[in-house]
Amino acid sequence: GIQVEQSPPDLILQEGANSTLRCNFSDSVNNLQWFHQNPWGQLINLFYIPSGTKQNGRLSATTVATERYSLLYISSSQTTDSGVYFCAVPKIQGAQKLVFGQGTRLTINP
Amino acid sequence: DAGVIQSPRHEVTEMGQEVTLRCKPISGHNSLFWYRQTMMRGLELLIYFNNNVPIDDSGMPEDRFSAKMPNASFSTLKIQPSEPRDSAVYFCASSPNRWNEQFFGPGTRLTVL
Protein backbone atom coordinates (compact mmCIF):
# COMPACT_ATOMS: atom_id res chain seq x y z
CA GLY A 1 0.00 0.00 0.00
CA ILE A 2 0.87 3.64 -0.25
CA GLN A 3 3.39 5.12 2.17
CA VAL A 4 3.01 8.61 3.61
CA GLU A 5 5.91 10.46 5.21
CA GLN A 6 5.70 13.82 6.89
CA SER A 7 8.53 16.13 7.80
CA PRO A 8 9.73 17.49 10.05
CA PRO A 9 8.36 15.35 12.89
CA ASP A 10 8.65 18.25 15.33
CA LEU A 11 8.86 21.99 14.83
CA ILE A 12 9.19 24.66 17.51
CA LEU A 13 8.80 28.28 16.51
CA GLN A 14 8.22 31.69 17.98
CA GLU A 15 4.95 33.47 17.42
CA GLY A 16 5.00 35.37 14.15
CA ALA A 17 7.31 32.96 12.34
CA ASN A 18 6.45 31.21 9.09
CA SER A 19 6.63 27.46 8.58
CA THR A 20 6.48 24.85 5.85
CA LEU A 21 5.33 21.29 6.50
CA ARG A 22 5.90 18.58 3.94
CA CYS A 23 4.00 15.41 3.03
CA ASN A 24 5.53 12.87 0.66
CA PHE A 25 3.60 9.93 -0.70
CA SER A 26 4.79 6.89 -2.56
CA ASP A 27 2.15 6.53 -5.27
CA SER A 28 -0.23 8.55 -7.40
CA VAL A 29 -3.19 10.01 -5.55
CA ASN A 30 -6.43 11.70 -6.54
CA ASN A 31 -7.25 12.93 -3.07
CA LEU A 32 -5.19 14.53 -0.31
CA GLN A 33 -6.33 16.12 2.90
CA TRP A 34 -4.55 18.19 5.53
CA PHE A 35 -5.81 18.14 9.11
CA HIS A 36 -4.92 19.99 12.28
CA GLN A 37 -5.30 18.11 15.54
CA ASN A 38 -5.49 20.73 18.23
CA PRO A 39 -4.26 20.23 21.81
CA TRP A 40 -7.79 19.12 22.79
CA GLY A 41 -7.63 16.28 20.29
CA GLN A 42 -10.06 17.60 17.70
CA LEU A 43 -9.25 16.83 14.05
CA ILE A 44 -10.01 19.89 11.99
CA ASN A 45 -10.13 19.87 8.20
CA LEU A 46 -7.73 22.36 6.70
CA PHE A 47 -7.59 21.52 3.01
CA TYR A 48 -8.87 19.01 0.51
CA ILE A 49 -6.28 19.44 -2.20
CA PRO A 50 -5.62 16.66 -4.73
CA SER A 51 -3.59 19.10 -6.83
CA GLY A 52 -2.79 22.76 -7.20
CA THR A 53 -2.77 25.47 -4.57
CA LYS A 54 -5.39 26.66 -2.10
CA GLN A 55 -5.33 29.41 0.48
CA ASN A 56 -7.36 30.02 3.59
CA GLY A 57 -6.27 33.04 5.59
CA ARG A 58 -2.76 32.52 6.93
CA LEU A 59 -2.68 28.94 5.69
CA SER A 60 -2.06 27.70 2.20
CA ALA A 61 -1.34 24.33 0.66
CA THR A 62 0.17 23.12 -2.57
CA THR A 63 0.04 19.60 -3.94
CA VAL A 64 2.27 18.54 -6.83
CA ALA A 65 0.71 15.20 -7.64
CA THR A 66 3.19 14.34 -10.40
CA GLU A 67 6.07 14.66 -7.94
CA ARG A 68 4.15 13.04 -5.08
CA TYR A 69 4.32 15.69 -2.42
CA SER A 70 2.25 18.34 -0.74
CA LEU A 71 3.28 21.37 1.29
CA LEU A 72 1.38 23.20 3.99
CA TYR A 73 2.43 26.80 4.67
CA ILE A 74 1.60 28.65 7.84
CA SER A 75 2.41 32.33 7.90
CA SER A 76 2.61 34.65 10.92
CA SER A 77 2.16 31.73 13.32
CA GLN A 78 -0.02 32.13 16.39
CA THR A 79 -0.04 30.05 19.57
CA THR A 80 -3.40 28.63 18.50
CA ASP A 81 -1.65 27.02 15.53
CA SER A 82 0.05 24.59 17.92
CA GLY A 83 -0.87 20.95 17.58
CA VAL A 84 -0.23 18.09 15.19
CA TYR A 85 -0.68 18.44 11.45
CA PHE A 86 -1.58 15.34 9.47
CA CYS A 87 -1.81 14.68 5.77
CA ALA A 88 -3.87 11.76 4.50
CA VAL A 89 -4.20 10.08 1.12
CA PRO A 90 -6.24 7.12 -0.17
CA LYS A 91 -4.66 3.75 0.48
CA ILE A 92 -5.29 2.86 -3.15
CA GLN A 93 -6.04 5.45 -5.82
CA GLY A 94 -9.75 6.02 -5.99
CA ALA A 95 -10.43 4.25 -2.71
CA GLN A 96 -12.06 5.74 0.34
CA LYS A 97 -9.65 4.28 2.90
CA LEU A 98 -7.28 7.03 3.99
CA VAL A 99 -3.72 6.46 5.12
CA PHE A 100 -2.43 9.08 7.52
CA GLY A 101 1.12 10.24 7.92
CA GLN A 102 2.64 10.24 11.39
CA GLY A 103 2.16 13.96 11.66
CA THR A 104 4.23 17.07 12.34
CA ARG A 105 3.99 18.36 15.90
CA LEU A 106 4.09 22.17 15.77
CA THR A 107 4.68 24.20 18.90
CA ILE A 108 4.33 27.96 18.73
CA ASN A 109 5.80 29.77 21.70
CA PRO A 110 4.60 33.25 22.67
CA ASP B 1 -25.01 23.06 10.51
CA ALA B 2 -24.03 20.43 13.07
CA GLY B 3 -20.89 18.44 12.47
CA VAL B 4 -20.36 14.78 13.24
CA ILE B 5 -21.65 14.01 16.73
CA GLN B 6 -20.13 11.32 18.93
CA SER B 7 -21.09 10.05 22.34
CA PRO B 8 -19.93 9.60 24.94
CA ARG B 9 -16.94 11.93 24.81
CA HIS B 10 -15.18 10.00 27.56
CA GLU B 11 -15.70 6.46 28.73
CA VAL B 12 -13.93 4.68 31.56
CA THR B 13 -14.75 1.04 32.04
CA GLU B 14 -13.32 -2.11 33.51
CA MET B 15 -11.84 -4.98 31.57
CA GLY B 16 -14.48 -7.41 30.40
CA GLN B 17 -17.29 -4.88 30.18
CA GLU B 18 -19.18 -4.10 27.01
CA VAL B 19 -18.59 -0.67 25.50
CA THR B 20 -20.81 1.01 22.91
CA LEU B 21 -19.70 4.13 21.07
CA ARG B 22 -22.20 6.14 19.07
CA CYS B 23 -21.98 8.37 16.04
CA LYS B 24 -24.34 10.63 14.13
CA PRO B 25 -22.92 11.65 10.74
CA ILE B 26 -23.49 14.97 9.05
CA SER B 27 -26.93 15.04 7.48
CA GLY B 28 -26.79 14.12 3.80
CA HIS B 29 -23.44 12.35 4.01
CA ASN B 30 -23.64 8.78 2.80
CA SER B 31 -20.26 7.44 3.88
CA LEU B 32 -19.27 6.82 7.50
CA PHE B 33 -15.90 5.81 8.90
CA TRP B 34 -14.68 4.59 12.29
CA TYR B 35 -11.04 5.26 13.22
CA ARG B 36 -8.90 4.53 16.24
CA GLN B 37 -5.97 6.68 17.34
CA THR B 38 -3.18 5.49 19.65
CA MET B 39 0.29 6.79 20.30
CA MET B 40 1.86 3.59 19.02
CA ARG B 41 -0.14 3.11 15.81
CA GLY B 42 -1.43 6.57 14.98
CA LEU B 43 -4.76 6.86 13.16
CA GLU B 44 -6.14 3.60 11.82
CA LEU B 45 -9.32 2.99 9.87
CA LEU B 46 -11.40 0.26 11.48
CA ILE B 47 -14.44 0.04 9.20
CA TYR B 48 -16.44 2.14 6.79
CA PHE B 49 -19.97 2.17 5.43
CA ASN B 50 -21.49 3.44 2.20
CA ASN B 51 -25.25 3.99 2.25
CA ASN B 52 -25.43 2.11 5.57
CA VAL B 53 -23.71 -0.98 4.14
CA PRO B 54 -20.34 -2.09 5.56
CA ILE B 55 -17.81 -1.96 2.75
CA ASP B 56 -14.50 -2.81 4.39
CA ASP B 57 -14.00 -4.06 7.93
CA SER B 58 -10.48 -5.33 7.44
CA GLY B 59 -9.21 -2.85 10.01
CA MET B 60 -11.34 -4.25 12.82
CA PRO B 61 -8.78 -5.72 15.19
CA GLU B 62 -10.67 -8.86 16.22
CA ASP B 63 -14.06 -10.40 16.78
CA ARG B 64 -14.54 -8.46 19.97
CA PHE B 65 -15.22 -5.42 17.77
CA SER B 66 -18.44 -4.96 15.82
CA ALA B 67 -20.04 -2.01 14.07
CA LYS B 68 -23.53 -1.35 12.79
CA MET B 69 -25.28 1.35 10.86
CA PRO B 70 -29.03 0.72 11.12
CA ASN B 71 -29.92 3.95 9.31
CA ALA B 72 -28.34 6.94 7.60
CA SER B 73 -28.14 8.99 10.77
CA PHE B 74 -26.74 6.57 13.32
CA SER B 75 -23.89 4.13 13.79
CA THR B 76 -22.46 2.20 16.72
CA LEU B 77 -19.09 0.62 17.44
CA LYS B 78 -19.24 -2.06 20.09
CA ILE B 79 -16.42 -3.76 21.98
CA GLN B 80 -17.32 -6.88 23.91
CA PRO B 81 -15.50 -7.81 26.05
CA SER B 82 -13.23 -4.79 26.39
CA GLU B 83 -9.52 -5.10 27.21
CA PRO B 84 -6.96 -2.54 28.45
CA ARG B 85 -5.26 -2.54 25.03
CA ASP B 86 -8.47 -1.15 23.54
CA SER B 87 -7.80 2.13 25.32
CA ALA B 88 -7.60 4.80 22.62
CA VAL B 89 -9.47 7.69 21.07
CA TYR B 90 -12.13 6.50 18.66
CA PHE B 91 -13.16 8.87 15.90
CA CYS B 92 -16.13 8.76 13.61
CA ALA B 93 -16.01 10.61 10.29
CA SER B 94 -18.46 11.14 7.46
CA SER B 95 -18.16 12.08 3.81
CA PRO B 96 -20.76 13.42 1.37
CA ASN B 97 -19.94 10.91 -1.33
CA ARG B 98 -17.39 8.31 -2.24
CA TRP B 99 -14.64 10.66 -3.28
CA ASN B 100 -14.98 13.77 -1.19
CA GLU B 101 -13.25 14.84 1.96
CA GLN B 102 -13.92 13.30 5.32
CA PHE B 103 -15.12 15.29 8.33
CA PHE B 104 -14.29 14.06 11.81
CA GLY B 105 -16.25 14.07 15.01
CA PRO B 106 -14.73 15.12 18.35
CA GLY B 107 -13.84 11.55 19.27
CA THR B 108 -14.51 9.29 22.25
CA ARG B 109 -11.62 8.78 24.65
CA LEU B 110 -11.92 5.20 25.93
CA THR B 111 -10.02 3.98 28.96
CA VAL B 112 -10.26 0.31 29.89
CA LEU B 113 -8.90 -0.43 33.34
Tens-digit pLDDT profile for residues B3-25: 999 999 999 999 999 999 999 99
Kindly report the number of other CB atoms within 10 A of residue B55's CB atom.
16
Task: Flag whether pLDDT at A94 surpasses 70.
Answer: no
Residue A93 predicted with pLDDT over 70: no
Mean predicted confidence (pLDDT) in B90-109: 90
Task: Specify the pLDDT at position A1.
Answer: 82
Would the CB atoms of A33 and B102 count as touching at under 8 Å?
yes
Chain A residues bordering chain B (beta-carbon distance below 8 Å): 30-31, 33, 35, 41-45, 48, 86, 88, 94, 96-98, 100, 102-103
Confidence of residue A95 (pLDDT cuts 50, 70, 90): confident
**For the segment B60-93, what is each residue's pLDDT rounded down to a tens digit?**
988 999 999 999 999 999 999 999 999 999 999 9
- Model confidence pLDDT, tens digit, residues A6-21: 999 999 999 999 999 9
Q: What pLDDT is attached to residue A29?
A: 86
Is B98 a residue whose pLDDT tops 70?
no
Q: Which of B102, B103, B106 sits opposite A98 (nearest CB)?
A: B102
CA distance B78 to chain A (A): 21
* Mean pLDDT of all residues belonging to chain A: 93
Mutate to test the interface with A, among B47, B99, B109 (most CBs of A within 10 A): B99
Query: Which residue pairs, CB below 8 angstroms and at least 24 apart, start in B83-89?
Result: B83/B15, B83/B112, B84/B15, B84/B112, B84/B113, B85/B112, B86/B19, B86/B110, B86/B112, B87/B38, B87/B111, B87/B112, B88/B36, B88/B37, B88/B38, B89/A41, B89/B36, B89/B37, B89/B38
Mean local confidence (pLDDT), B15-38: 96
Residue B97 pLDDT > 90: no
**Cβ contact, residue pair A45, B56, below 8 Å:** no
Would the CB atoms of A96 and B48 count as touching at under 8 Å?
yes
Return the CA Rg of chain B: 13
Amino acid identity for residue B54 in this structure: P
Predicted local distance difference test score (pLDDT) of residue B1: 64
